[in-house]
Structure 1
């Protein structure tokens, strides 16, 4: 049994018991549609060459940060397509994302420095869900090293409990969802170009929380996919390519 199975069981026990407070969350029907991830992944594998041809890479260094309980393996199809399109895309090298730790930003900083040793230029961060929160906070932590931030279904705006993931986050990380172990100003926009990908069909995160408000991000790009689809569906990968174009200098 995977190490996070108990956390997931506790999460669903809490859901069936009636939830917490009056915070609005996505409809359960949308949440269940995330089960289409294997089909989305199959479409991406079949269309990989075509997807790469539709993205105009420019050699920029990219760092991909996975979501809660995901490893960089989950983002490998996106990384491979971005590489084939002409970007230099890298995994984060930190294993499975079990939530924030006191030294998370320092660990990302070491990975960014490794990437920069081969180019000397800034690194653009692409973060899925919780990985997007890490990306935004790291861009404030090390502004000179970051060329831009793309978030995918990341709840950087509004109530941190307006989603179906916050209980799992707390169980896995051991920290309250509104008190991570490092300085975090979720709604404050990093002083680098930012693009927020969001979906009405997300199912895990409330769309408004991932879209953000004016002043919290530079661009908001709607994507027709589920929350899991941001990382593996053709629509999610093409949207990342579009977001990177908005940051092209």
Structure 2
């Protein structure tokens, strides 16, 4: 496990950010991959909870939840409405909810988070270790918090945040490491989160998988869905 501060991260370029405007066209290609998605491995009925990104509603995760239900998983959205971005508070509330789910079912929960939802998923796995089975993230700013995002500077001004100090805090948390299986999906075409910052360089067992997708389309990208389906099936086999 690495505990050195990553130094190769950058914010998305202006061109990458502008490519986010093409998200609707990217989503139109979804039906072309539908046949492949329909033949993905069947699920084992495990509990899966999906967490939306910053300021995103639960509805943004509903298509993926429905697909995972189709495969045979007990998939739901997180049940906490719009992601306000208050990571510490949301992690505590969500973690207690996950604990209750585990107490009722006697089985750990798999977490799938998009963007900032992935940060909350990973922090939940860290702080509520006995309740989380596995974590999958999509376009999640794992390094630097908001520092290497396209809106980082504006967010820092709005919240009175020192991005460099916050980066050190995030680094300290990440250096603790996670014990669960980790799948980290990122894209060099991401116009919101710098792709270098969306990789896990802390946990040796983490699987960093590159896809071609805008940030805003990642949660409905058929390639991403296929990776998630195959990952869940592979973890079940083991």
Normalised by the length of structure 1, the TM-score is 0.78
Which residue of structure 2 aligns with residue 92 of structure 1?
78
Matching residue of 2:108: 122
For 1:72 and 1:149, the matched residues in 2 are separated by: 18
- Describe the SS at the equivalent of 1:103: helix
SS in structure 2 of the partner of residue 64 of structure 1: strand
Root-mean-square deviation (CA, aligned residues, Å) is: 3.1
Q: Which has the higher contact order (CA 8 A, sep 6+)?
A: 2
* 1:228 aligned partner: 216
Distance 2:80 2:157 in 1: 20
Aligned counterpart, 1:185: 173
- How far apart, in 2, do the equivalents of 1:107 and 1:181 lie? 21
**Kindly tell me: are residues 209 and 180 of structure 1, through their superposed partners in 2, closer, same or farther at Cα, counting changes over 3 Å?**
closer
* Bigger proportion of residues as helix: 2
Shift of 1:203: 1.7
Q: 1:211 — aligned with what? A: 199
CA distance change for structure 1 residues 86 and 139 in 2, over 3 Å: closer, same or farther? same
| Structure 2 residue 107 is the aligned partner of structure 1 residue 131 | no
Distance 2:17 2:134 in 1: 30
**Kindly tell me: are residues 116 and 40 of structure 1, through their superposed partners in 2, closer, same or farther at Cα, counting changes over 3 Å?**
farther
Within 2, Cα distance between the matches of 1:162 and 1:190?
22
What SS does structure 2 have at the residue aligned with 1:221?
Answer: strand
- Unaligned runs of 5+ residues in structure 1 are 1-22
- Matching of residue 103 in structure 1 with residue 86 in structure 2: no
> Deviation per CA, 1:133-152, whole angstroms, max 9, x where unpaired?
11111111110000011111
